[in-house]
Structure 1
Amino acid sequence: MKVLAAMSGGVDSAVAAARAAEAGHEVVGVHMALSKNRDQRRTGSRGCCTVEDASDARRAADRIGIPYYVWDLSDDFHDLVVEDFLTEYAAGRTPNPCVRCNERIKFASLLERATLLGFDAVCTGHYASIRSEGPGGAPSLHRSRNDAKDQSYVLAVMGPEAVGRSLFPLGDFEDKQAVRAEARARGLGVSTKPDSYDICFIADGDTRGFLERSLGEAPGEVVDPDGTVLATHTGTHGYTIGQRKGLGIQHPAPDGRPRYVVDIDPARRQVVVGASELLSTRELHATDVISFEELTEGRPVHAQIRAHGEAVPAVIQQVPAPDAPGSLLQVRLDTPVRGVAPGQTLVLYDGDRVLAAATLERRA
């Protein structure tokens, strides 16, 4: 196959590209330049897709012996990921920008360009597996063998069509050290490069500061569930469901227990805080469902609401009505979970196989 290998400049994508080339595919490496700041530099382990990363990716491609290009996707990234992040926070929701990047950049913009150029598939260094059940069976997305690094949750939004045109060569690695060892054996200089983490377009890790600089101030009140004003704030976008610290409350609750953000109302400019039990729910409601197979009511599943959270046993209570945009997927959990926030991604599993992804709207 003719394969386009997305090379971030890290060890994972370099080993993935090397494995694809070794498997006999005609591989071309491409680095996605996502930052509009051409002078952006990496800060330790923070950030990715910087000038240094592009250079590291080029050296890895040279070592593997494949052609290499840099594609400027900064406009797409800004419009489809960064602006979405800001819009969601301004609306009192909690988005996952890595999910959006995988959906809209790595498996939409990149795959579209790859198709136009005649490539058969896109190869990345994600930790996930693609399998086909039986002869001629449709490919399905599964968890990686490396539970600690599994990325099937953030990949679930790519949908079945993109899965069928993707390669994830790292899915069978049991741990990251094995990947680094293979990189060393292949002579790849990125074998000891630290992993990137946090939000790539907020290189200093100060999410709240980034939101304040981007969205400005919109002062309002911090209240308890009865509406009693406890403090003031400079913008609801500085808060997330489940947050405990930085609430600005100067006196303890009457019962002495900690308070948490339990609701955010941007229209009224209110942040509602309350006891921890107000964060727990067993009912999840979601829209914008992306299914890998037909969902049925009453089906047992496992539901996951965070990238590295636990998948909880659950039952599908309601499936979206066909051709009815905005209709709900409802799931009931066997045990309550805390801190469910609108805007988070819900992923349903059958064992290690992804069944569907959706966007959480509210909790019952």
Structure 2
Amino acid sequence: MRMKKKKRVVAALSGGVDSSVAAALLKEAGYDVIGISMQLYDHAQNETTRFDSCCSLKEVDVARRVAQILEIPYYVLNFEKAFQEKVVDYFVKEYLNARTPNPCVKCNSDVKFKALIQKAKELGADYLATGHYVKNVLNAKTGFYELHKAKDVSKDQSYFLFDIDRNELPYLLFPLGDLLKTHVRDLAKRFGLPTAHKPESMEICFIPNNDYAAFIEKKLSSPLSKVAGNVVSSDGKILKQHRGYYQYTVGQRKGIGLSQTHPLYVVEIDPNLKQVCVGKKADLWMRGLIAKDINWLRLPETQEVSLKIRHSKQEWQARFSETVSWSSHAQPIFFQDRVAAVTPGQAAVFYQDDVLLGGGWIERGLH
């Protein structure tokens, strides 16, 4: 952690073990730490079903206790309007456009980092710190900061940060980037934090019971009949009716509700026809994809990159069809070997070695 003189830092506190240990490490290192939690949605409407979700009232209470133990100032800021517009509305719109959204990426780039850096500056802070598992490294050759994968590869969260503004990187601290999760748990115990044994939540914070289909149905302005349609085979034969195409995603196998001699997968969704097309796994294999709205944190040194098309350890070797530049915002990229289940709406994130180059949103796969 960089500090020549005592610096002020805003630590984002979610009520989880990672953010609380990050704040504790900064306090121990001599920073002037201010804890902030974000209220992102209407608790009165959601508390009964999501009482222990990220940024819920319960989590805010935990974060407040952490701040008391660390003896740091603590504030809860309301970002409900921005979260509704930038994350929730986007989430629903993407599913209704037959795309599979990634709300965590949008929340990071369009709400959390943008809003908290602005708030940090208003409070006279030099940095914003979070509990993300990622490294922020100053490149001695270029003089610019760049994001690298975390030491704990199993917890690396760089995939979710590809869309943040590269101009924000000098203001960001990630104290957990060089730590293993097991070490973070041990540190939480040493600091006496109430989050030491807290389990991780893998659910979308604003979706009650993780039932995104029911959530979307509540948001629909038209009757369910407007999104109902047919499940068809690759040759156009009607196999069954569905009650909403938004309940399906490209690559899905479970929950289709059809008995065949071979496994069936969702291979395409047409929101205009309200049609879900299913086929064999071979129909899912793609030689490349089109990525749009690309955000670059660093330009690649060559056209060859490693590519993630979902949050997992799995990476594929790929190549841009042409040399890219800072202004390359829509780009075809081709896999070294064919890849299955390229899902429109998900993030395509580019790496070279451990360096996060940036990423974009999958428009479609290329057969």
Scaled to the shorter chain, the TM-score interval is: over 0.9
For residues 254-293 of structure 1, the aligned pairs below 5 Å read 256-293=261-298
Out of 338, 350, 353, the position equivalent to 2:352 is: 350
Q: Corresponding residue for 2:248?
A: 239
CA distance in 2, matches of 1:42, 1:197: 19
1:181 aligns with 2:186: yes
For residues 178-327 of structure 1, the aligned pairs below 5 Å read 178-215=183-220, 217=224, 218-249=227-258, 251-252=259-260, 256-295=261-300, 299-318=303-322
**Aligned 8 A contact 1:47 1:197 in 2:** no
**Aligned 8 A contact 1:282 1:335 in 2:** yes
**Aligned 8 A contact 1:45 1:195 in 2:** no
1:31 aligns with 2:40: no
Counterpart of 1:96, as a letter, is N
Counterpart of 1:318, as a letter, is E
**Aligned 8 A contact 1:212 1:238 in 2:** no
Structure 2, unpaired ranges of 5+: 1-6
Shift of the alpha carbon at 1:135?
Answer: 6.7
Q: 1:135 to 1:17 in 2, by over 3 A?
A: farther
Q: What per-residue deviation string (whole Å, max 9, x for no partner) do you get for residues 6-47 of structure 1?
A: 000111000001111222222100010112123744879962
**Aligned 8 A contact 1:39 1:51 in 2:** no
Secondary structure of 2:208's counterpart equals coil
Counterpart of 1:111, as a letter, is I
Shift of the alpha carbon at 1:165?
Answer: 1.3
1:9 aligns with 2:15: yes
CA distance in 1, matches of 2:51, 2:334: 38
CA distance in 2, matches of 1:195, 1:98: 15
Shift of the alpha carbon at 1:192?
Answer: 0.9
Shift of the alpha carbon at 1:118?
Answer: 2.7
CA distance in 2, matches of 1:50, 1:291: 33
Q: 1:323 to 1:333 in 2, by over 3 A?
A: closer
Counterpart of 1:75, as a letter, is K
**Aligned 8 A contact 1:319 1:328 in 2:** no
Q: Corresponding residue for 1:53?
A: 59
Counterpart of 1:47, as a letter, is S
CA distance in 2, matches of 1:44, 1:51: 9
CA distance in 2, matches of 1:30, 1:58: 9
1:83 aligns with 2:83: no
TM-score (norm: length of structure 1): 0.92
Cα RMSD, aligned residues only: 2.0
Q: Corresponding residue for 1:339?
A: 341
CA distance in 2, matches of 1:42, 1:188: 26
**Aligned 8 A contact 1:346 1:357 in 2:** yes
Secondary structure of 1:164's counterpart equals helix
Counterpart of 1:310, as a letter, is Q
Secondary structure of 2:19's counterpart equals helix
Counterpart of 1:228, as a letter, is K
Q: Corresponding residue for 2:3?
A: none
Q: Corresponding residue for 2:168?
A: 162
Q: 1:319 to 1:203 in 2, by over 3 A?
A: farther
Counterpart of 2:298, as a letter, is E
Identity %: 38
Secondary structure of 1:190's counterpart equals coil
Counterpart of 2:202, as a letter, is Y
CA distance in 2, matches of 1:102, 1:16: 17
CA distance in 1, matches of 2:31, 2:289: 43
**Aligned 8 A contact 1:286 1:328 in 2:** yes
Structure 1, unpaired ranges of 5+: none
TM-score (norm: length of structure 2): 0.92
CA distance in 2, matches of 1:129, 1:3: 17
Counterpart of 1:79, as a letter, is E
Shift of the alpha carbon at 1:196?
Answer: 1.6
CA distance in 2, matches of 1:62, 1:299: 50
Shift of the alpha carbon at 1:353?
Answer: 0.5
Shift of the alpha carbon at 1:321?
Answer: 7.5
Shift of the alpha carbon at 1:336?
Answer: 2.0
For residues 66-105 of structure 1, the aligned pairs below 5 Å read 66-105=72-111
Counterpart of 1:233, as a letter, is H
**Aligned 8 A contact 2:53 2:59 in 1:** no
CA distance in 2, matches of 1:135, 1:332: 30
Secondary structure of 2:312's counterpart equals coil
Counterpart of 2:70, as a letter, is I
Secondary structure of 2:44's counterpart equals coil
